Amino acid sequence: MTDLIILRDFLVLCETKSFSRTAEHRHVSVSGLSRRIQGLEDWAGTALFERRKGELALTEAGYELQKIAFESLPVFLDS
């Protein structure tokens, strides 16, 4: 279940492009969310977001994971 929580965090972060807004929406601390996303990037073996001057943008790998997570998450939640 923890992996599904992290995927939900990732998808919300993709949408908001803000760690603080995502943390508020997901009811976690910004540092906790940051650790979750860093763990996901470690698992993926690559950066999923480009971080520049307070802005977030998905990398190519981030777009791929977003597509897979968006398509797969409902299947896991319905199981």
Residue 50 and residue 57 in contact, taking contact as beta carbons nearer than 8 Å: yes
- pLDDT for position 2: 72
Query: Hey, where are the domains in the chain?
Result: 2-78
Q: What whole-number distance in Å separates Cα of residue 31 and Cα of residue 41?
A: 15
Residue 9 and residue 33 in contact, taking contact as beta carbons nearer than 8 Å: yes
The topology under which CATH files domain 2-78 is Arc Repressor Mutant, subunit A (1.10.10)
Residue 56 and residue 50 in contact, taking contact as beta carbons nearer than 8 Å: yes
**pLDDT (tens digit, 9 = 90+) per residue, 5-60?**
999 999 999 999 999 999 999 999 999 999 999 999 999 999 999 998 878 999 99
Nearest partner of 12 among 46, 40, 52, 44, judged by Cα: 40
**pLDDT (tens digit, 9 = 90+) per residue, 65-78?**
999 998 887 766 65
Q: What whole-number distance in Å separates Cα of residue 63 and Cα of residue 60?
A: 5
- pLDDT for position 53: 84
